[in-house]
Chain A
Amino acid sequence: MVTAGLGTMDCPDAQQVEVREAALREAWAAWPEVASGRHAPPPIKADVRSLSFWYGKVQAVKSVSIPIADRRVTALIGPSGCGKTTLLRCFNRMHDLYRNTRYEGQIVLHPSGTDIIDRRVNPIEMRMRIGMVFQKPNPFPKSIFENVAFGLRMKGVRGRSEIADRVEAAIKAAALWDEVSDRLRKPAYDLSGGQQQRLCIARALATEPEMVLFDEPTSALDPVATARIEELVQSLKERVTVLIVTHNMQQAGRVSDFTAFMYLGEMVEFDRTEKVFQNPGKQLTEQYISGRFG
């Protein structure tokens, strides 16, 4: 049984998708909103199937399978070095920039059915379709406007008014417009750290990606700026699928709908965030959540 509209029919192993979709459905079924029929379960946006990744001879991700729900926030948590950032960076093929790296498995992006890590798929295409926000705010040393316009220019968007409109829309979507609308031509580095990070989110949103990856986006920010970013991440799921790596378990609890707990390169548990935090299925998860290691 394959749900219509998922575009899974043309995938080679639709059966596998069904299994993972079942995991997602199961996770959702326990949610009262869904059980009472008020919400339909979300389709899968990206399907990670037995993904492994190597830095040289070191295997950092070990046969991980996770369904990423469409237009929901999925959090990757786990202690340092558990491979969560490595997994995240597989989604936009950032590892291709460095030598001696190797992927195995699949990440199938729906509805197009593209396997992100297929060698024949151009990493540049994936990076235009999947945006990324980094740990440390990293605006370009250009003006606020040019930072957001960059992705559009890369894409070959030429019209001045079209660029201006889309830049404005992206900055508004990143909840930054009121603070910068009168100084778009000023250097991005004049902004505060939290504003810079929201600018980076606007930059990622400007090209209207299908998915946005967040790599510990608040680890360099103060609590107030962190709260604003968290609020923003939550509001983003109306338009894009969000995958967020975080060190901060409270943050995962606050912003995400689903949580995957990783340990030593393996995926230990994937479930609805509420379930993972209140009633984890695995002992290891419970120990990590309660702060006994990590």
Chain B
Amino acid sequence: MTPLERTIRFRRCQDAAFQVLGASLTVVALLVLGALVLDLAKTGLGRLSWSFLTSFPSRKAEQAGIASAIVGSFYVMIVTAFTAIPLGVAAGVYLEEYSRRNWFTAAIEINIANLAGVPSIVYGLMALSLFVYTFGLGESILAGGLTLALLILPIVIVATREALRSIPLHIREAAYAMGATRWQVVRHHLLPYSTGGIATGVIIALSRAIGETAPLITIGALTFIAFLPPTPLTPRPEEDGGGLYGPFEWLDSGFTVLPIQMFNWVSRPGEAFLANAAAAGIVLIVATLGLNALAIVVRSRMRRRIRW
């Protein structure tokens, strides 16, 4: 065997070894994930039924359900999305397209990157003193939604900037060369072309927010809620003054969310409540997977529509 053949053989062995290593580690990771989902399904699938989805929590495990948690999660996500999207996109556009590069914007950039890594319970603590006490929002859906909005704001900003940065320079120059102002370039070109990337980032961020527990517990989300927030423009009970609920009264309502409901059940004794927790976990995972699937669809549709 010539030296050349020997070195080729050695390098091919290296290649094969790494391939085996990589494949086996991937299998391990997938197996662990699969085992988790299977275990959850085994414990919880039996409890999953229409009445489980539409019942309020109860002292009796077999009568308990997650109606208030599902509705609570939904309302909190609405507040989060309506706050985090405009703020995050505007901040991203400003930082990427308008701000001058100097030490101040560099400091802001580093801080945004760091904020994304701050533990969520710290956000909860800040929100408790800011939203709940200082602004007097109380332990409400509004306070919870704003807290989660703060939590995902850095993710939305970074996603927006990445999406804008992926637009080639020659497209911007073409627009500016037509005599467009900066706002016209942003409004007619950059935002439409980056919608896919921004939407993907926002959806991923929301799917993170929907599973957050710690900051909401910190601001005092309740663990046992046997009522729904007032639906806008539905009749108010007579003993509560009658008339209709206002369009924004739900913002002030107490609430619980899916992960908190799970946490509540897990901390109770008894197999039956554990099964409830697992069932709620399945619902949560389906919601997260659904959001991620939506992100993939949005991204691939935009990719087909926009090329350069």
Contact = CB atoms under 8 A, between A and B. Distances in A.
Contacts of A140: 171, 174-175, 189
A133 to B, nearest CB: 9
A169 B229 CA distance: 59
A200 B193 CA distance: 19
A131 interface: yes
Contacts of A119: none
Contacts of B306: 141
B177 A127 contact: yes
Interface stretch (B180-188, B261-269, B288-296): B180-188
Interface in B148-202: 168, 170-171, 173-181, 184, 188-189, 193
B100 interface: yes
Contacts of A154: 178-180, 184
A200 B174 contact: yes
Interface string B84-106: 00000000000000001100000
Contacts of A204: 177-178
A127 B178 CA distance: 6
B170 A138 contact: yes
B50 interface: no
A141 B179 contact: no
B100 A99 contact: yes
B177 A94 contact: yes
Contacts of B180: 124, 150, 154
Nearest to A97: B176
A151 B177 CA distance: 9
A151 B101 CA distance: 30
Contacts of A175: none
B59 interface: no
A138 B178 contact: no
Interface in A152-180: 153-155
A141 B170 contact: no
Interface string B274-307: 0000000000000000000000000000000111
Contacts of A187: 305, 307
A155 B176 contact: no
Residue among A150, A153, A155 having the largest count of chain B Cβ atoms under 10 Å:
A150
Contacts of B174: 134, 138-140, 200, 203
A150 B178 contact: yes
Contacts of B171: 138, 140-141
A292 to B, nearest CB: 33
Interface in B44-75: none
B170 A203 contact: no
Contacts of A92: 177
Given A94-B177, A138-B308, A189-B307, 12 more contacts: A124-B179, A124-B181, A125-B179, A131-B178, A134-B170, A138-B170, A138-B171, A140-B171, A141-B305, A150-B188, A154-B178, A200-B174
Interface of B: 100-101, 168, 170-171, 173-181, 184, 188-189, 193, 305-308
21 contacts: A94-B176, A99-B100, A99-B101, A124-B181, A125-B179, A128-B178, A128-B179, A134-B173, A134-B177, A136-B170, A138-B173, A138-B174, A138-B308, A139-B174, A140-B175, A150-B178, A154-B180, A155-B179, A189-B307, A203-B174, A204-B177
